[in-house]
Amino acid sequence: MHIDGHGFASPARVIASPHVDRRPSGAGVRLVVIHNISLPAGHFGGTDIIRLFQGQLDCNAHPDYAALCGLRVSAHFLIRRSGELIQFASCHDRAWHSGVSSWQGWQKCNDFSIGIELEGTDQLAFEDAQYQQLNALLDAIRQLWPDVALAGHSDVAPGRKTDPGPCFDWTRVSQAGSRFRQSVMPSD
Ligand SMILES: [Zn+2]
């Protein structure tokens, strides 16, 4: 896998999200934030995550969706249970995935991070195919940004977010990632 000059990974299925804008000038990519998502929670393989990121979720389709109505969110990438990779925003642009967040004293992690969603929940192990695709993607990201660090959404928004959750196995993320994570959370 590699990321082209426009910031798109090859091969990824590109579905553009309108919930994207430019990074602030001077804000490079310093961090990858790992998330999980499923819509409805615990249901896999549907199209509602894509609809949410496109601003087209039917808020009446499920009782849980009322809370998502009008939410303008996105991520750069979604890795489905099958390992399929979908990209919603160029890595050079700012996707809206971390919300109120901070990392090593820097606020607004969206400004300087790439957001990767794994289709899943906090309660269920992730698939082998997802780890394989995640590691391939992280390798491609490091070709452009060799010093990029890695954190979970729960690391940058503690108390507010729990993903990727206790079932995400950080030891299965390629070496550089686990090293950086230890430097982020020395008390682990
Ligand atoms: Zn998240």
From the CA of 36, how far away is ligand 1's center (Å)?
6
Q: Does 119 have pLDDT greater than 90?
A: yes
d(CA 91, CA 132): 20
pLDDT tens digits for 75-91?
999 999 999 999 999 99
Per the residue annotation, which of 84, 117, 119, 127 is the catalytic one? 117
From the CA of 47, how far away is ligand 1's center (Å)?
18
Integer-rounded Cα radius of gyration of the chain: 15
Q: Does 188 have pLDDT greater than 80?
A: no
Range of the domain at 120: 2-184
Residues with beta carbon < 5 A to ion ligand 1?
A: 35, 153, 163
From the CA of 35, how far away is ligand 1's center (Å)?
4
From the CA of 67, how far away is ligand 1's center (Å)?
15
d(CA 13, CA 113): 20
State the chain's mean pLDDT as an integer: 93
d(CA 12, CA 10): 5
Q: Find where tokens 């009322």 sit.
A: 66
Alpha helix ranges (H) inside 17-71: 48-54
From the CA of 97, how far away is ligand 1's center (Å)?
6
117 is an active site residue: yes
pLDDT tens digits for 128-179?
999 999 999 999 999 999 999 999 999 999 999 999 999 999 999 976 544 4
Domains of the chain: total: 1
Q: Domain of 34: which CATH number?
A: 3.40.80.10
Q: Does 6 have pLDDT greater than 50?
A: yes
Of 75, 50, 70, nearest to 153 by C-alpha is 75
Cα 8 to Cα 4, 66, 94, 127, 179, distances in angstroms: 5, 32, 13, 24, 26
